[in-house]
Amino acid sequence: MTPARFPTLAAAAAAMILSGAAGAAEVAPTHDLPFPEGTPTVVARVETAPVARAGDAADDPAIWVNPKDPALSAVIGTDKKGGLYVYDLAGKPLQFLANGRMNNVDLRAGFRLGGREVVLVTASDRTNKAIAILTLDPETRQLADVADGVQESDLSDPYGLCMYRDRKGGETYVFVNDPTGLVRQWRLVATPAGKVRAEVVRSFALNSQVEGCVADDETGALYIGEEDVGLWRFGAAPNAGDRRRLVAAIKDNPMWKADFEGVGLWAGKGGRGYIVVSSQGDNTYAVFDRGGRNRYRGSFAIAPDPASGIDGVSETDGLDVVSAPLPGFPRGLLVTQDGYNVSPSENQNFKFVSWADVATQLKLD
Ligand code: CA
Ligand code: CA
Ligand code: CA
Ligand code: CA
Ligand code: CA
């Protein structure tokens, strides 16, 4: 499959619009960006309300599956210019928490805090160069700050973020990286007063800018996207050192185009499943096996749906995916940030894709 020629003028114009040159008014984009001809496509089933900030503002989602009532699950999305949204499965905002420039967000349920189990949420906080730590109330689906004061990251600019639960030891960790390629890991510790603090346990470095990451709690793998290089696999345990394997080098496949951005895990039963990576440079998503040597299974794009009026998805930053069946998403939900929320032209938002559609298109199990 050969990549189509991109309409470079249109793409450049769109890029200029979103880069928001100093003093220039930010003009909303009017069209999605193209993906290579012949790429298998799916459509988004739901799109969220636009974020309040113009330009490149929405960035990264995290999906919470409600174990009691899947219909009352939630999607948290960052507005990197000002805070965190919580959306319901129809894409309607339930909350906006203006807690600063939150870049990436992730969560783990079942964290012991104050004598009960809570849904713990962390976000990379560029305002305070810190790790924001919150809970998501399963009844009200509202976020509340539980950090034991500002949890300083000691990073130049906290950027990508993902969480890890050690299935054996039960500890919960958070990884945060910065644009120099530095990655740090912290253990999240409950205090007697019912707050949470972050204790650094490990640091390692890649050679260039990193951001998207995901940890696999069952296999102990940590996947990190080095934006111009490819997808790396590390160990997620704090004593895993800096041993790594390059799962996919962008230069090795014409369907992969820098930046590699959001990374997510569709975790099936018995260690089966898939890793999904946003190939931002050609507006596609690459899918790899979760197990073995992480074989490449193919790529897909999210096209506009004339029937629903929901536009396609371009230039995705962050994404998240779950395998749990949710209403309207029988084999799980993929949420992607959309760089160009058009028809009509509005601020950026997040799109909800049914994993069943992806599985059909790529002939996955
Ligand atoms: Ca962006
Ligand atoms: Ca995320
Ligand atoms: Ca990035
Ligand atoms: Ca779009
Ligand atoms: Ca739209």
| DSSP per residue, 269-300 | GGG-EEEEEEEGGGTEEEEEESSTT--EEEEE
Q: At 187, which CATH number?
A: 2.120.10.30
- Min mean pLDDT across 27-41, 46-60, 258-272 is at 27-41
Is residue 168 included in any domain, yes or no?
yes
Q: Quick one: pLDDT band at residue 30, thresholds 50, 70, 90?
A: confident
pLDDT at position 281 = 98
- Looking at the CA of 78, name the nearest ligand: 2
Is residue 1 included in any domain, yes or no?
no
Name the residues around ion ligand 4, CB cutoff 5 A: 32, 311, 338, 340
- Looking at the CA of 208, name the nearest ligand: 3
Tell me how far the alpha carbon of residue 44 lies from the centroid of ligand 4, in angstroms.
10
Q: Cα 114 to the chain's mean position, in Å?
A: 29
How large is the average pLDDT for residues 159-183?
96
Amino acid at the residue 129: K
What is the domain count for the chain?
Answer: 1
Tell me how far the alpha carbon of residue 105 lies from the centroid of ligand 2, in angstroms.
4
Tell me how far the alpha carbon of residue 338 lies from the centroid of ligand 4, in angstroms.
5
pLDDT at position 2 = 37
- Min mean pLDDT across 30-34, 144-148, 263-267 is at 30-34
Is residue 353 included in any domain, yes or no?
yes
Is residue 104 included in any domain, yes or no?
yes
- Contact in structure between 337 and 87 (CB atoms under 8 Å): no
C-beta atoms surrounding 7 within 10 Å: 13
Tell me how far the alpha carbon of residue 153 lies from the centroid of ligand 5, in angstroms.
35
Q: Does the pLDDT value for residue 364 go beyond 80? A: yes
Name the nearest CA neighbour of 350 among 84, 36, 30, 41: 84
Is residue 146 included in any domain, yes or no?
yes
How large is the average pLDDT for residues 7-26?
44
**CA 254/CA 229 separation, integer angstroms:** 13
Amino acid at the residue 242: D
Tell me how far the alpha carbon of residue 195 lies from the centroid of ligand 3, in angstroms.
31
Tell me how far the alpha carbon of residue 154 lies from the centroid of ligand 4, in angstroms.
35
| DSSP per residue, 22-65 | TTSPPPPP-SPPP--TT--EEE-SEEPPPPSS-SS-EEEEEEE-
- Looking at the CA of 310, name the nearest ligand: 5
pLDDT at position 123 = 99
Is residue 145 included in any domain, yes or no?
yes
Name the residues around ion ligand 5, CB cutoff 5 A: 311, 341
- Contact in structure between 231 and 277 (CB atoms under 8 Å): yes
Backbone angles phi, psi at 151, to 5 degrees: -95, 90
Is residue 3 included in any domain, yes or no?
no
Q: Quick one: pLDDT band at residue 11, thresholds 50, 70, 90?
A: very low
Q: Which domain holds residue 181?
A: 8-362
Q: Does the pLDDT value for residue 362 go beyond 50? A: yes
- Contact in structure between 276 and 264 (CB atoms under 8 Å): yes
Tell me how far the alpha carbon of residue 178 lies from the centroid of ligand 4, in angstroms.
27
Question: In residues, how long is the chain?
Answer: 365
Each residue of 119-144: pLDDT tens digit? 999 999 999 999 999 999 999 999 99
The distance in angstroms from the start CA to the end CA of the chain is 23
pLDDT at position 365 = 82
Q: Chain-wide mean pLDDT for the chain?
A: 93
Share of the chain above pLDDT 90, in %: 91
Is residue 330 included in any domain, yes or no?
yes
